[in-house]
Amino acid sequence: MRVDLFDFALPQENIALRPAVPRDSAKLLLAGGDLLADHVVSDLPTLLSPGDVLVFNDTRVIPAQLTGKRGDATIGATLHKRQDLRRWQAFVRNAKRLKIGDQIDFGADVCAVAEQQYEDGSFLLNFLGDEPVELLLERAGTMPLPPYIARKRDIDERDAEDYQTMFAREDGAVAAPTAALHFTDRLMAGLANAEIATETLTLHVGAGTFLPVKVDETADHQMHSEWGRIEPAMADRLNRAREKGGRVISVGTTSLRLLESATGDDGIIQPFEGDTDIFITPGYRFKAIDGLMTNFHLPKSTLFMLVSALMGLERMQQVYAHAIASDYRFYSYGDSSLLLPPR
C-alpha cells in the first residue's frame, strides 16, 4: 500500500507536551464497530467485561540519550538495541564526524568506542570499563523523549517519572510503552473489582519506533528488531481466558506486536523469547488479540498503519478526525483510545 494513504493533518496544538494529572484522567475514545464514544481512562472498568484480560508491557525505559565529544566534534547517540553486556546499537547525530575506532567521551567517566557501522547508518558502541552499562547511563544519560516533544521543550526531572509506566520493571527500553502511562493504583483496583484480569510481558522498545517511514510503499519499509519475552505460564492463562470467552486486550502496540509474533495460525499464544520485527499493515489477520488500548499516533507512521489494520483505514480516519475535532491530545503524553473490532 502507498504510505501517503496513512497521512493526515494534525494541528500542533493537539500534541501533548506533558501527561494528564492524574494519569487516569486522560480522555479515552471508545471505537467499536459503528460506536464512537467519548470517555476518560478511569471509565475503563465499565467499558470491558468480566473475564477480559489486559496485557501490559513491563519494560523500563533507560536514560539512553547521550551527548559527548569526539575531539572537538559533538556527537549525540540514542541507544536502541542491546547486543551484549557492553555493546549497544545506537543512532548517531553528527555521524559524519565519527569513524570506526573513534572514542566518544560522554562525560561523568563514561566513554564508548565506535566498533561498527550498519547499513542504516547506526553504530555499534562498546562502553569501556567494568561498571554495568546501566550505571553508566544513570550518570551520563537522559530520558530519550520522542523528537516531537524534545524539539519543543527541554527534558527535565519530571520526565524521569512521567515517562515510566507503573509496570516498569525490566530495564532495556529506549521508548515507553505509552498506552500504559495512563494507569494508576486506583484504576487497577477498579479493574480487579470488575473481574478484569491483567498480565505482563516484556518487549524492550527501540528508538526505531520514532523513525519516519521514508519509502513510498509499505512493502519496502524495514522494521528494526526488538527483543521480547512471554512466559509459558502467562501464555497458558491467556489461552484459557480466550477459551472461556474472554477477550485479550493489548495495552499498547508493543504488547500487541509481541503477542502476534508469538501466535500461530491456530490462534494459540506460545511462549516466546527473542527478537521480533513484525510489521502489521492492512490485510493482516490478527490471531492473538481482540482489542487494543493505544494513544494517538503520528501520520504515516507504522503505528497508524497497525491500528488501520485492526479497524480498517477508513474507520481510523473517522476516529482520528473525531479526536482532532474534539481536542484529544496526541502522541506519547497524550490521550488514549480503546479499539474493539467486531469479533
Instruction: Quick: pLDDT tens for 111-163.
Output: 999 999 998 899 999 999 999 999 999 999 999 888 888 889 988 889 999 99
Q: Helical H runs in the chain?
A: 44-47, 133-140, 147-150, 157-162, 185-193, 232-243, 253-261, 302-311, 313-325
Question: What is the structure's pLDDT at 237?
Answer: 98
Could you give the CA distance from residue 48 to residue 68 in angstroms, rounded to a whole number? 48
Question: What is the structure's pLDDT at 197?
Answer: 98
User: Are the beta carbons of 242 and 236 closer than 8 angstroms?
Assistant: no
Instruction: Quick: pLDDT tens for 220-242.
Output: 998 888 999 999 999 999 999 99
Burial of 219 (C-beta count, 10 Å sphere; 0-12/13-18/19+): exposed
CATH architecture assigned to 3-61+161-339: 3-Layer(aba) Sandwich (3.40)
Region 304-310: mean pLDDT is: 98
* Same fold for the pair 3-61+161-339 and 65-138: no
Strands of the sheet with 248-251, listed across from one edge = 35-40, 27-32, 336-339, 291-295, 248-251, 53-57, 197-203, 226-230, 272-276
Tell me the whole-structure pTM to 2 decimals.
0.93
DSSP string for residues in 144-171:
---HHHHTTS---HHHHHHTS-TT--EE
Query: Lowest-pLDDT range, 46-60, 140-154, 205-219, 281-295?
Result: 205-219
- Share of residues in the chain with pLDDT > 70 (%): 99
C-alpha cell of residue 100: 570506526
pLDDT-based confidence at residue 198 (cuts at 50, 70, 90): very high
The CATH fold assigned to 65-138 is Thrombin, subunit H (2.40.10)
Region 46-65: mean pLDDT is: 97
Which residue, among 125, 335, 108, 88, has the nearest Cα to 207 in the 3D structure?
Answer: 88
Question: What is the structure's pLDDT at 200?
Answer: 98
Could you give the CA distance from residue 86 to residue 124 in angstroms, rounded to a whole number? 10
pLDDT-based confidence at residue 210 (cuts at 50, 70, 90): low
Domain boundaries, the chain: 3-61+161-339, 65-138
Question: What is the structure's pLDDT at 150?
Answer: 84
Can you list the positions of beta strands (E) in the chain? 27-32, 35-40, 53-57, 59-61, 65-70, 73-82, 87-93, 103-105, 111-117, 123-127, 170-173, 197-203, 226-230, 248-251, 272-276, 291-295, 336-339
Name beta bridge partners: 202: 229
